[in-house]
Structure 1
Amino acid sequence: MPDIPSNKPYLIRALHQWCTDFGFTPFVAVFVDSRVEVPMEYIKNNEIVLNLSIEACHQLQIDNDWISFQARFGGIPRKIMVPVSHVLAIYARENGQGMSFPFEPEKVRDLHIADTSDEGLDKPNLGKPSLRIVK
């Protein structure tokens, strides 16, 4: 039986669309390691929560492997790159409805075993991801 592609990017796109259609603010919680390109000063416990609303980000692309966009952090424009494999959850800020995803660090490590430059990041808590609603 051939490998079936992950349904995760499709679910992320669907929940993003649902949030947008009903006026909610789509947030994603992301596990951060060396493959994730985000402002380091906003990372807590190897996680960051990002606002994916139309007002907050420009040129949003949610592909099967990557989420990319441009956004301002503290007034400074930044390019954001997140592997879909690192998304822990997507939810509506206003009511917390959404979906969390199992995070399997072994599979993520297998994807980039040669990339071991996680300097400056805390050792990850590989248990259940902590999901924080940010208002």
Structure 2
Amino acid sequence: MSESSAPAMTSQRPYLLRALYEWVVDNGMTPHVLVNARMPGVRVPAHTIKDGQVVLNIADRAVAKLTMDNDALRFSARFGGVSQNVVIPMAAVIAIYARESGQGMALPEELPAGTPSADAETDTTPETAQPQPADDGPPEEAPEPPKRGGHLRIVK
């Protein structure tokens, strides 16, 4: 089956979030999520937002009614003594990590629906593959591929 006829898959973000949450909790640490509070659908108390982001403790002892479905992260928590319902669309979750160790993962960015896939925008040729010479002339050395920086950021 060719890549162009491959069926569309659901987002991997909710699965990664649930797995990493379980990993952090199983190791006796406190799971925190970094959220892009500027994304549509994010419902968090305004006073918790700093520079368009918010870090939330999602440990069982800090929240009630925690659900992580394929669309959003939802829970109830107390902020300044007042219980509030929090809704975070999966696309707004930037990272999940353990507070004590900082270990965790930045979740991969997703392309909006209707945009070309990431495979179409990036070179998928293995780095060990040799460039094929053109049929109409002698082989030339391939230009050096552009250097790409990492997409992860250190969150403090």
TM-score by length of 1: 0.77
Question: Is 1:86–1:103's contact at 8 Å kept on the other side of the alignment?
Answer: no
1:87 has 2:110 as partner: no
Which structure has more strand as a fraction of its residues? 1
Question: Is 1:29–1:89's contact at 8 Å kept on the other side of the alignment?
Answer: yes
Unaligned runs of 5+ in 1: 111-127
Task: Give the Å deviation of 1:23.
Answer: 0.9
CA offset digits 1:11-38 (Å, max 9, x no partner): 1101111111111000000001241000
2:102, 2:78 → 1: CA distance? 24
1:11 has 2:34 as partner: no
Unaligned runs of 5+ in 2: 1-5, 116-150
Find the partner of 1:26 among 3, 28, 31.
31
Counting only pairs closer than 5 Å after superposition, residues 88-107 of structure 1 correspond to structure 2 as 88-103=94-109, 107=112
Question: Is 2:66–2:76's contact at 8 Å kept on the other side of the alignment?
Answer: yes
Q: Which of the pair has the greater relative contact order for Cα pairs under 8 Å at 6+ separation? A: 1
Counting only pairs closer than 5 Å after superposition, residues 37-116 of structure 1 correspond to structure 2 as 37-103=43-109, 107=112
CA offset digits 1:81-103 (Å, max 9, x no partner): 00011100000000011110234
TM-score by length of 2: 0.67
Aligned-residue RMSD, C-alpha: 2.0
Identity value in percent: 42
1:64, 1:43 → 2: CA distance? 24
SS in 2 for 1:38: coil
What is the match of residue 122 of structure 2?
Answer: none
2:82, 2:66 → 1: CA distance? 17
Question: Is 1:29–1:131's contact at 8 Å kept on the other side of the alignment?
Answer: no
Report how many aligned residue pairs link the two structures. Answer: 114
From the superposition, tell whether residues 17 and 9 of structure 1 become closer, same or farther in structure 2 (CA, over 3 Å). same
1:75, 1:56 → 2: CA distance? 12
Task: Give the Å deviation of 1:61.
Answer: 0.1
Question: Is 1:28–1:52's contact at 8 Å kept on the other side of the alignment?
Answer: yes
User: Which residue identity does 2:30 align to in structure 1?
Assistant: T
